[in-house]
A and B are shown apart, each in its own frame.
Chain A
Amino acid sequence: MHQLERVTNLLTLLLSARRHVTFDEIRNELRGQYPENLVAARAAFERDKSLLRDEGVPIDSVVLGGDQAGTTGYRILRSEYELGDIDLEPDEAAALRVAVSTIRMGQTWGVEALWKVDIEPGPARDGGAAPVVVANLPVDPRLPLLHRSLASRCEVSFDYNGKSREVRPFGLLARDGWWYLVGHDRSVDELRTFRVDRIAGEVEVGRSGAFTIPEGFDVSAVFPSDPKLLPDNVDMGADVAEVLVDASDVGVVMAQYGAGAVVSERADGSTVFAIPCSNVRAFDQWLLGFVDRAEVLSPPLLRQHVVDWLESIGARA
């Protein structure tokens, strides 16, 4: 018998059960579907249960009492299994469809979710034409778990930068092409931000309802809008640098920072801009993208830092 057929039978049995049923009872009901050998049958049953649970099927298991004392009983509560009525209006369903086809995360999660929530009979899907606007969001396999932990107020623990962290998640933020988890890090008793793709290994999840999120907490507000504003503990003597940009590249910087960042314009069209530099590493990455078409004028420490960086490349050659 094909495993899909057996596991579908097991699912119908557990969904229909009015009480918890034991492995022996399941084997008896699904006679001939599990191997004769008890050890092999048990192994096959464990594989089936694992497959169902991996697919999100909530199998409830309890250790029974009475004349079945010590054995485990299994059951699926229909109320736990079934997705509740969402009652999307046609325009709401259509909006969700457009959202999922426009925002892509390199996975089929969104399409599978749509199949589930957009269940009511309605107009056929729009002819399969590709949307003209598409945004690719980064994805990390741990995001769904972090999202669920956030929604259920579960503490999470993981390794980050070589240290173990116990974090109460307050928010998830996608910005500048990365996902960030913002939360209270109990290990240091402070609010901390973690880039999700830099979390090492698995995320362990604690019990639900373990904390409350402070009133008015705004994940966007606690996170600087420009990576060059993030502090990185290198004091360059100022938080804003004056950068001379060649005329050829002025348009690009203007598009990024606007006319408000212009300090002065020179006769040849080159322009001095005021650029945030609190995060020196982010500033370096931005500046060096111009190669020889931009130059730090001040602060002097930052200018020297750039010279040192460039000389280290030449010295190594």
Chain B
Amino acid sequence: MTRRGPRPVNLRLRRLLVMLPWLAERGTVSTTAMAEHFAMTVPDLMADLTLASLCGVSQDPRDLIDLWVDEEAVHFGIPKYFNRPLRLTAPEAFSLVASATAARNLTGSDLGGALNRAVDKVARALGIDDVDRLVVELETPAAVADFARAAEAGVEVTISHWSVTTGDSVERRIVPAEVFMESDHWYVRALDLGVGAERTFRLDRIESHQVGQTRHDVDLGPRRPWFSDPVETTRVTIEMDPAWMWVLEQYPGVTIDEVTTPRPQGWVSVSMPVSSERWLQRLLLRLGSHARVRAPESWTDLASDTARLVLTRYGKK
């Protein structure tokens, strides 16, 4: 078992300044409930609150923060210093406004009026007079709501899914667990009943879907990082012009785990996992002459072979 290091002072202070007014509002709270609310362990909570109980403008007990902790609960007496939370920091304000603005775009969201009112109140408190200057555009296809409802109900959905690898559409029966958006694409993570395993499908490649009635008890656990299954991936080393790194940035989950010292012409060497040859073909065509595969050897000619294949469509050999 690894032992974690000490918690940074800034994080402990940040948490303390929000916990004290929260506690002042409530008077007495169970240590377990409070630790859960603030995503801390009970020992960490007790350590921070015990320390806080020794703080004040002087060491006169009448000047100390009026709280005490026993085994079961935290008790707060007379508020002296931290009656209200610290104002929102710039990152907190941005995050709140951006999240709320984005959530208003979600199809099927029934937050509607309550969220609008909440955003207006928060903006007023922050002195922001026009929240509309920050716009988050989330295109949510209608299917998002269908798959979300299916995930909540645990019912299976029959989909016709187009495979980018084969170019064919295949019918599958899935039980959705989560619908998520990453790098501007929506995906449904589901149990594929045909293979009895978790699969993720891009929504814009699902040509049709039919929500069924049959319920399944599915618990896929938290989402794993993209390409986390080593059986399904191959590690590729590409040398490329760093000015074209933006092409890689478009792919969700591409983790560039190594960029080495620049090559003589200023290129860099990038190592990354690749899920299929077809996927790599598309990437190499998009990078054009600005990249070349160095390893594995079986793919060093993949770019030129693929380019020649496409050129036949244009009457070239």
Contacts and interface: CB of A to CB of B under 8 A. Distances in A.
A55 B10 contact: yes
B55 interface: yes
Nearest to B203: A255
Interface stretch (B181-189, B193-201, B256-264, B266-274): B181-189
A305 to B, nearest CB: 11
Given A16-B57, A81-B87, A150-B133, A317 B138 contact: no
Chain B interface secondary structure, helix, strand, loop or mixed?
helix
A210 interface: no
A220 B310 contact: no
Interface stretch (A37-45, A64-72, A172-180, A259-267): A172-180
Interface string A145-187: 1011011000000000000000000111111110000000000
A51 B9 contact: yes
Interface stretch (B69-77, B109-117, B209-217, B228-236): B109-117
B65 to A, nearest CB: 7
Nearest to B115: A95
B167 A107 contact: no
Contacts of A151: 126-129, 133
B91 to A, nearest CB: 4
Given A295-B313, A310-B307, A313-B304, A284 B286 contact: yes
Contact of B115 (A92, A144, A293): A92
Contact of A7 (B9, B108, B205, B304): B9
Given A54-B10, A251-B169, A288 B286 contact: yes
A289 B282 contact: yes
A4 interface: yes
Contact of B33 (A55, A124, A145, A317): A124
Contacts of B17: 11, 55
Contacts of B80: 12
Interface in A75-121: 80-89, 91-96, 98-100, 102-103, 105, 107, 109-117, 119-121
A250 to B, nearest CB: 10
Interface string A281-317: 0001100110111010000000100110111111111
A3 B55 CA distance: 12
B95 A95 contact: no
B25 A171 contact: no
A174 B98 contact: yes
Contacts of B114: 89, 91-92, 94-95
B309 interface: yes
Interface in A1-59: 2-5, 7-9, 11-13, 15-16, 29, 51-52, 54-58
B13 interface: yes
A111 B192 CA distance: 33
Contact of A107 (B38, B91, B151, B204): B91
A173 B303 contact: no
Interface in B96-130: 96-100, 102-103, 106, 108, 111, 114-115, 117-118, 121-122, 125-130
User: Chain A, interface size: which category?
Assistant: 35 or more
B52 interface: yes
Given A95-B111, A109-B94, A314 B307 contact: yes
Contact of B180 (A80, A133, A316): A133
A120 B204 CA distance: 42
B230 to A, nearest CB: 24
Contacts of A107: 91, 95
B207 interface: yes
Contacts of A116: 18, 85-86, 88, 92
A316 B137 contact: no
Interface in A233-266: 246, 248-249, 251-252, 255-256
Contact of B55 (A9, A94, A132): A9
B84 interface: yes
Contacts of A175: 137
B144 to A, nearest CB: 7
B178 A57 contact: no
Contacts of B118: 88, 92-93, 95-96
A293 B167 CA distance: 9
Interface string A123-147: 0110000101111111000011101
Contact of B81 (A15, A86, A102): A15
Contacts of A9: 55-57
Contacts of A98: 103, 111
A110 B99 contact: yes
A118 B16 CA distance: 16
B220 to A, nearest CB: 10
A172 B135 contact: yes
A99 B102 contact: yes
B33 to A, nearest CB: 7
A109 B136 CA distance: 17
A213 interface: yes
Interface of A: 2-5, 7-9, 11-13, 15-16, 29, 51-52, 54-58, 80-89, 91-96, 98-100, 102-103, 105, 107, 109-117, 119-121, 124-125, 130, 132-138, 143-145, 147-148, 150-151, 170-177, 197, 213, 219-220, 246, 248-249, 251-252, 255-256, 284-285, 288-289, 291-293, 295, 303, 306-307, 309-317
26 contacts: A2-B9, A2-B51, A4-B51, A11-B81, A15-B81, A16-B57, A82-B86, A84-B87, A95-B100, A95-B115, A105-B99, A110-B99, A113-B96, A119-B21, A121-B26, A138-B183, A144-B91, A148-B90, A175-B137, A219-B135, A220-B137, A252-B205, A255-B207, A288-B282, A292-B310, A310-B311
Which 7 pairs between the two chains have the least Cβ-Cβ distance? A248-B167, A317-B304, A109-B95, A99-B103, A177-B184, A113-B92, A56-B89
